[in-house]
Structure 1
Amino acid sequence: MGHLEDLRSQLTGTLVLPGEPEYDAARAAWNLAVDQRPAAVATPADVADVQAIVRAARAAGLGVSTQPNGHGADADLEGVVLVRPSRFDEITVDVEASVLRVGAGVNWGRALARLDGTGRIALAGSNPEVNAVALALNGGQSMFSRRFGLTARSVIAVDLVDASGEARRIDDASDPDLIWALRGGGGLFGVVTAIEVALFPADALFGGSLAFPIESGVEVLRAGFALARDVPELGLDLGLARFPDLPLVPPPLRGRTVATVALVHVGDEATGRSYADRLTAVAAPVADTLTAFTIGSLAAVAAEPTAPMPNADFGAAIDALDDAFAAELVDAFLAGADHGLMRVSVRALGGAIADELGADLAAVGAVHAGGFLNSGVVLLDPSIDAPAALRPLRELAARHPGDRVVPTFLGRGTTLADAYPREVVERLAAVKRRVDPDGVIRANRPIGA
């Protein structure tokens, strides 16, 4: 503890230790089911603070892990100093160069608001409270990815403090192996303070979500899968959801089980609506939020939950999205819903996500699966049996395994070895041994076997 007490006196930012009044709030993960108890929680004010934190932790025999918001939290963090980079709040947009620079404390909602009116978009997540740096380092799969590629492959440069406490700027020229690892390998290679990502042209956007009666679920999913095959640049997320009968749920969905389709089209409204017409020709929607929008309103279009809650989740890559899989997905969801499963979605892949050009520059590579499955159980009721709720989807994914998944779609208890082929995992491990042989830098998701 002496090293940490000394560290506190060196910092411009803050350090909270166990037993102090602020500790429980400081250590909390976004997933309230994760009970993490780090050796300290640090909120550095600048790069010098980060350097001091890493050096002090190393001297004390502790690890260092970064969690902007704790969305991917997955361990107890015993013997680890937890870094909250909230004060790294830089957002710089270079429209001419098509580059966005964001600090490690910036969430996508704030970053996208700065892009309004620029004619540029970033490969953002659909949830405004997801951290921009964390999503990019862990792969990312934006609703724009079928048009422009996975988020990790848009990373141009990374500013970090390495395991020795040295501040470095990493790009393809300075350290090609390390930037390769950072593009999909997560936070294992240093405490990242800022990144630069490529921006892409988009003068018009159209999208939103449709919900259909569960009785039409198989037909809607089949129509959505066919649309994904026919329009490889269209962002599509297709799934099923069971909504509780509570006042907080909008009346059209309250107490209902529905099939859902979210779509994002880079282009004019008329073309976007023609794609949606292929879905509404199959069944009449019970809810429709489709609209033209600007990049700063992407979060409103997706309308995903943003509040912390206890949950259990499961994600996997699916080999192909076809008619047979649509029927199996509905059956698996309904079986799980009887035990508390609330949602499942499949993010369609293909398009630029499968592009091999430049894939060797990023650990995330090119993905040739049909889709990424993601599901969740909210653990508000102690009677909910999460393993039973998720088991039908695990069995479904085992019957239809895809070639790889990005870490952002993995659930708790997984490693990078659950995402990537063995040769990628071995190369990641080699980079880790070079830049952090003592394992000072920890991440929510280790490399694994």
Structure 2
Amino acid sequence: MSSNELDVHTLRAQLDGGLVLPGDPDWDGARQAWQLTVDQHPEAVVLAASANDVVTAVNAARATGLRVAAQGTGHNANPLGPLAGTVLIKTSAMRGVVIDAEARTARVEAGALWGDVTAAAAPYGLAGLAGTAADVGVVGYTLGGGLSWLGRKYGLAANQVVAAEVVTADGVLRRIDAQTEPDLFWAIRGGGGSFAVVTALEFGLVEVGELHGGTLFWPIERAAEVLHAWREWTASVPDEITSVGRLLRFPPMEEIPEPVRGQSFVVVELVSLLDGSETEAALASLRALGPVMDTVQPCTPQALAEIHMDPPGPVPGTGDGVLLNELPAEALDAYLSVAGPEADFPVLSAEIRHLGGGFAPRPAQGGAVTGFDAAYAVFSVAITPVEAAVKATHRGLDALAEAMRPWTAPTGYLNFAERAGGVPFADPGTLDRLGRVKAQYDAADVVRGNHPVAPARA
């Protein structure tokens, strides 16, 4: 199938947004994902401006034997592949955010970014369970689960979803919740984007009072000392503190701030919901290690997006991650043998996130993934502008995964899995049920997700 089999003139006339085809002057920009390493070549790109555009695109694709893939930003676009035989539906123009302060909920359109939600909710003393970067799309992040700086207290972002507006493979726009289309509603909360194209989400917000957040920096040569101390510290910190132990090797790029440009550090990043005195007490043992920089201070919800130092725009990157059942001293030693300061590990960032607390599974909340039977999450990412760098990074990621294998959890996290091949779910019955939901709503597999779920066979 190719785009010339689409009824291009009719499709373009029906769209509130736009249609871009191969050969058009704006083709390369339209097909580009945030993840610049990915070279997407769909049959056509629909620049959706409304839910009606999504309905129109799904119907047009299905009628010509094509598939559809929705993309707000494309932070985790690599598993989608080159998109042959697929109409790419870009939702980035659908940025509407409505806050109901009394109900403590937000309704966001499919292209909304976490920065949009945070800015809209903050004046009411509310916040969503945002990721570490302001420019990450709310929908993709939430469908994959959603690890937030506030998550050890409040759990996964997917658990907060109360309703969704979706276009199913038959071209029908549906509002789904726990009472209406409950199986589909269950599937999208942590099961990924294979089941329908989401055009809007409604989710709960949390009240935010006093916040503290920031980063402690040490020279990377002290990685073993600092990360072992951090590992021991995580065993007793309250759920109000979420933290990351991280190795950073900053390249000498102008985009990187002068204090850290071209240097390497071991850092502990954290956010605390405790008051000032309690936060100070909790940090005392880490500060006793004498960090060379300490940015932990009272902050706003908007400032949380600055802590992780994510790039402010699209980059060519390559990354991947695993979950760990536990992190005993020998596991951290194995980690450092591959990723530590004396290793030739070609990545910018190698991190270990502390889970537990609110990140534990919450089956009563009803989604496909409500938490993780894991204690830590490992994720590493490199800047890879050329293919040789991609290959070198994959070799490093494979070596780290092998080193962590004795402690690796039997489940994965969709948003940290940046290579094709699928992510296991903790309970085999979950994947079976997801397959049945896929078969019920999309037996022909029209809707593509970056971590696909195949329709169950009858």
- Tell me the TM-score range normalised by the shorter chain: over 0.9
Match of 1:205 among 201, 204, 211: 211
Match of 2:378 among 373, 393, 411: 373
Aligned residue runs from structure 1 range 205-244, under 5 A: 205-233=211-239, 234-244=241-251
Contact 1:336 1:391 in 2 (8 A): no
Aligned residue runs from structure 1 range 66-77, under 5 A: 66-74=70-78, 75-77=81-83
Report SS of the residue matched to 2:87: strand
Match of 1:186 among 169, 192, 200: 192
Structure 2 counterpart of 1:52: 56
Structure 1 counterpart of 2:128: 122
What CA distance in whole angstroms lies between the structure 2 residues aligned with 1:161 and 1:387? Answer: 36
Contact 1:38 1:77 in 2 (8 A): yes
Q: Which runs of 4+ in 1 moved over 4 A?
A: none
What CA distance in whole angstroms lies between the structure 1 residues aligned with 2:426 and 2:23? Answer: 40
What CA distance in whole angstroms lies between the structure 2 residues aligned with 1:344 and 1:408? Answer: 16
What CA distance in whole angstroms lies between the structure 2 residues aligned with 1:160 and 1:243? Answer: 41
Superposed CA deviations along residues 40-62 of structure 1, whole A, max 9, x for unmatched, are 11012222221111111100100
What CA distance in whole angstroms lies between the structure 1 residues aligned with 2:62 and 2:363? Answer: 40
Match of 1:30 among 24, 28, 34: 34
Over the matched positions of the two proteins, sequence identity in percent amounts to: 35
Match of 2:19 among 11, 15, 18: 15
Match of 1:83 among 89, 94, 109: 89
Report SS of the residue matched to 1:372: strand
What CA distance in whole angstroms lies between the structure 2 residues aligned with 1:39 and 1:372? Answer: 36
What CA distance in whole angstroms lies between the structure 1 residues aligned with 2:363 and 2:24? Answer: 52
Displacement after TM superposition at 1:88 (Å): 1.9
Match of 1:3 among 6, 23, 33: 6
What CA distance in whole angstroms lies between the structure 1 residues aligned with 2:298 and 2:123? Answer: 14
Mean Cα displacement is larger for which, 316-325 or 379-388?
A: 379-388
What CA distance in whole angstroms lies between the structure 1 residues aligned with 2:50 and 2:178? Answer: 25
Contact 2:335 2:404 in 1 (8 A): no
Mean Cα displacement is larger for which, 3-12 or 153-162?
A: 3-12
Report SS of the residue matched to 1:358: helix
Contact 1:336 1:393 in 2 (8 A): no
Superposed CA deviations along residues 130-187 of structure 1, whole A, max 9, x for unmatched, are 0011111111111111100111111111101111111101100112211110101111
Displacement after TM superposition at 1:248 (Å): 4.2
1:314 maps to 2:314:
no
Report SS of the residue matched to 1:204: coil
What CA distance in whole angstroms lies between the structure 2 residues aligned with 1:436 and 1:50? Answer: 16
Report SS of the residue matched to 1:174: coil
Letter in 2 for 1:33: T
> Number of residue pairs matched?
446
1:404 maps to 2:411:
yes
Contact 1:317 1:397 in 2 (8 A): no
Superposed CA deviations along residues 89-120 of structure 1, whole A, max 9, x for unmatched, are 22111122111111111100111011223222
What CA distance in whole angstroms lies between the structure 1 residues aligned with 2:363 and 2:420? Answer: 32
Distance 1:344 1:111, change over 3 A: same
Structure 2 counterpart of 1:256: 263
What CA distance in whole angstroms lies between the structure 1 residues aligned with 2:14 and 2:119? Answer: 35
Letter in 2 for 1:146: R
Aligned residue runs from structure 1 range 153-164, under 5 A: 153-164=159-170
Contact 1:340 1:389 in 2 (8 A): yes
1:41 maps to 2:48:
no
Normalised to the residue count of structure 1, the TM-score between the two structures is 0.94
Structure 1 counterpart of 2:65: 61
What CA distance in whole angstroms lies between the structure 2 residues aligned with 1:53 and 1:383? Answer: 37
* Structure 1 gap segments, 5+ residues each: none
Normalised to the residue count of structure 2, the TM-score between the two structures is 0.93
* Structure 2 gap segments, 5+ residues each: none
1:343 maps to 2:386:
no
Superposed CA deviations along residues 307-356 of structure 1, whole A, max 9, x for unmatched, are 21222211100111232222222221038952522221111110011153
Displacement after TM superposition at 1:24 (Å): 0.6
Report SS of the residue matched to 1:264: strand
Displacement after TM superposition at 1:2 (Å): 4.0
Distance 1:164 1:429, change over 3 A: same
Mean Cα displacement is larger for which, 12-21 or 265-274?
A: 265-274
Displacement after TM superposition at 1:228 (Å): 2.1
Letter in 1 for 2:382: V
1:327 maps to 2:330:
no
Displacement after TM superposition at 1:420 (Å): 4.3
1:268 maps to 2:275:
yes
Mean Cα displacement is larger for which, 145-154 or 231-240?
A: 231-240
Displacement after TM superposition at 1:382 (Å): 5.4
Contact 1:364 1:406 in 2 (8 A): no
Structure 2 counterpart of 1:97: 103
Letter in 2 for 1:367: F
Aligned CA-pair RMSD: 1.9
Match of 1:277 among 284, 288, 296: 284
Structure 1 counterpart of 2:369: 364
Displacement after TM superposition at 1:245 (Å): 3.6
